[in-house]
Amino acid sequence: MKAEQTSDELLVKRFNAGDKKALQTIYDMYFTHLFYFAYRLTQNRAEAEDIAVVTLEVLLRRHTDFLTMPNIKAFAFITVRNKCLKYLDATKRHRASELELGILSDEKDDYVLAQMVRSEFLMEVYREIEELPPVRKKVFKLFYIDGLDSQEIARLLRMTPAAVYNNKLKALKQLRNVLFDKKLLPLIGSLFMIKQAWNC
């Protein structure tokens, strides 16, 4: 745990200094989670992508303003929440969406907090995905995140469909074992929800 905290502190320092790799790391770390959060609120993929991108652009421009990773995360999620509610107001679906998602009045901040906690767990899943062997990681991301099917992945990577299937299976098995050890196994289902959101 201490090593992870030190790693986060170093990343924030590099982020504050405007280090290009750190800026890209923060962008990559949060984009999928902010997109998914925005999609849950707006039910509009294109709008959710735009909101996530704009939020991260603002975050990167203000890279000197944040002292800790929780500061960065709070700013990002609250900014997305505000932009989503503004979008819903503009499209005259604010009330209906609030009722559907259960974020009326005082519950709004609780909902954002719940999504932030959910994102923290999702980040742990993504960290483990990054630790997969190169081919397994590439196949896994193309299937579960980019939404490609096995035939498309086979053509893209110049592999047989059987090889794609085997790499996907091995990646899932490896992730299940690691997440089971960390008591995070139920979160593997979140990957399927993200895939569904991307393909709506």
Whether 125 is covered by a domain: the verdict is: no
- Could you give the number of structural domains in the chain? 2
Q: Are residues 142 and 86 in the same domain?
A: no
**Domain match, 12 and 68 both:** yes
Same domain assignment for residues 115 and 169: no
> Is residue 192 domain-shared with residue 97, that is, in the same domain?
no
Same domain, residue pair 32 and 100: yes
Same domain, 136 and 96: no
Of 72, 101, 120, which marks where a domain is finished? 120
Averaged over successive runs of 10 residues, the pLDDT of the chain (200 residues) comes to 64 92 91 85 89 95 91 90 86 57 52 62 74 91 82 93 93 82 58 46
Considering 120, 147, 170, which residue would you say is the last residue of a domain? 120
Q: Are residues 14 and 36 in the same domain?
A: yes
The pLDDT assigned to 194 comes to 46
Instruction: For residue 126, tell me if it sits in a domain.
Output: no
Residues 95 and 187 occupy one common structural domain = no
* 166 and 82 inside one domain: no
pLDDT of residue 58: 94
Question: Are 77 and 115 in contact, with CB atoms under 8 Å apart?
Answer: yes
Q: Which residue range(s) make up the domain with 135?
A: 131-200
Of the residues 72, 89, 120, the one at which a domain ends = 120
Q: CATH number for the domain including 167?
A: 1.10.10
